[in-house]
Structure 1
């Protein structure tokens, strides 16, 4: 299917892939900065946001959608930045279409995803719902964070319960959750049931990679992310203390600084010389 896609900036293209639940809007923390120097393409994946469908699908169908998107935009080669589920799709693109992927930036993701999330309780769900709705009305209010946020499921998504992170939750996270279809939920659950593991195949990825993870991530553990980095032939990695799965919203400045620095260091390997001229 044709995906809804937000395109910003000019320069070497970076395909930015959101997680689950997610949307193109949730990747703004990256595109707001990267589009100053690169062209960022940020789709709503199949079943999410403005790319919803009434039909059932498998996650692998998203790969065909993304290749079609690149073809439609006449992009022969790009970087891929993937957060969580988006990182898994990025890995798959690099394995299936190596000539088209110049490099990978993998955030809070893994080729063999392992979680350590505790069982979800009814108080967790109630507090999360209340925190989300009240935070929508008064984003980042200290009372919301202290009274509800830290007693909700957000305590497993965040370690630094900052006002900035809760503003992102209100502006982007809440709507991404509402925009995630039941078809997308079913596709993810079927994929998880198959115990996805691409570690044995990572040696085939020649593209340079950057792996970024939060030390307290309970959804995809830091150990799983670092295991992925260890299996990639050309990978740099960073593990940030006191952060979790939503680390781009916890430490955006540090994360973006490290991404820009890595891109500058990889200019020759990624073939980005022309992009710096702009």
Structure 2
């Protein structure tokens, strides 16, 4: 896996190209790292970190969905890739949806994991608290907040008390500097009108115990996209942490 100051990521694989759109407060490496080996064995994998994630410089202004979508397309262009499947995780879901409506002739398939078309009142409140904790510089409380919403109850119990405390410290300390801009975009984006315009075969992967982006929002995305399939998997918001093998299999199968 290689990168540049622009935050682009590319790994040579085989056959189909697969673009990766990561989540808010994440990066290509953080969200797809656990499944990257399987993906690169089958695909040419291309990603682009959002501003303020990975090595990409932080934005000095609010982020726009169109710009994030075109950032991914530019990464494909830089590799000479004309057509590709797109995987969008969490915030990457609406990024992938917008990409598919801006460049329909280039998208061969969509795989949307824990996506949302717009934040409802509950998700907006969650995003506002998330952003406030990052901006307050309180990594311990941030870590506890994120862990309680990102992992399923079963996964948290399995960690044990010491494991939870270690995970809290890691989650609070590793938030990318651009997280406030990522989360602010979550609060205001709306791709509801884009859903009916998608023509690419689409799979929506819905983690059943997702407390961050609840399954009702995943289902709404699937219902709005013509012919979309919905697959429910166990676990919380982070399938790469709780269900990496299952998630990798779904990503690989749907991107063919």
Contact 1:128–1:154 (CA under 8 A) maintained in structure 2: no
Q: Which residue of 2 aligns with 1:146?
A: none
TM-score (norm 2): 0.77
Whole-angstrom distance in 1 between the partners of 2:69 and 2:137: 36
Contact 1:214–1:240 (CA under 8 A) maintained in structure 2: yes
Q: Does structure 1 residue 259 correspond to structure 2 residue 251?
A: yes
Q: Residue 118 of structure 2 aligns to a residue in which SS?
A: coil
The runs of at least 4 aligned residues of structure 1 exceeding 4 Å deviation read 115-121, 125-128, 172-176
Q: Which residue of 2 aligns with 1:66?
A: 72
Whole-angstrom distance in 1 between the partners of 2:9 and 2:24: 17
Give, in angstroms, the shift of residue 244 of structure 1. Answer: 1.6
Q: Pick from 11, 16, 19: which aligns with 1:12?
A: 16
Based on CA coordinates, which of the two structures has the bigger radius of gyration? 1
Give, in angstroms, the shift of residue 28 of structure 1. Answer: 1.0
Q: Which residue of 1 aligns with 2:211?
A: 218
Gaps of 5+ in 1: 133-150, 268-278
Structural RMSD (CA): 3.4
**Number of equivalent positions:** 236
CA offsets per residue over residues 107-149 of structure 1, 9 Å max, x none? 111223347468769xxx99972896xxxxxxxxxxxxxxxxx
Gaps of 5+ in 2: 131-135
Map 1:1-278 onto structure 2 (within 5 A). Answer: 2-26=6-30, 27-53=32-58, 55-60=60-65, 61-114=67-120, 116=122, 129=140, 153-159=146-152, 160-161=155-156, 162=158, 176-177=174-175, 179-181=176-178, 185-186=180-181, 188-189=183-184, 191-194=185-188, 196-241=189-234, 243-263=235-255, 267=256
TM-score (norm 1): 0.72
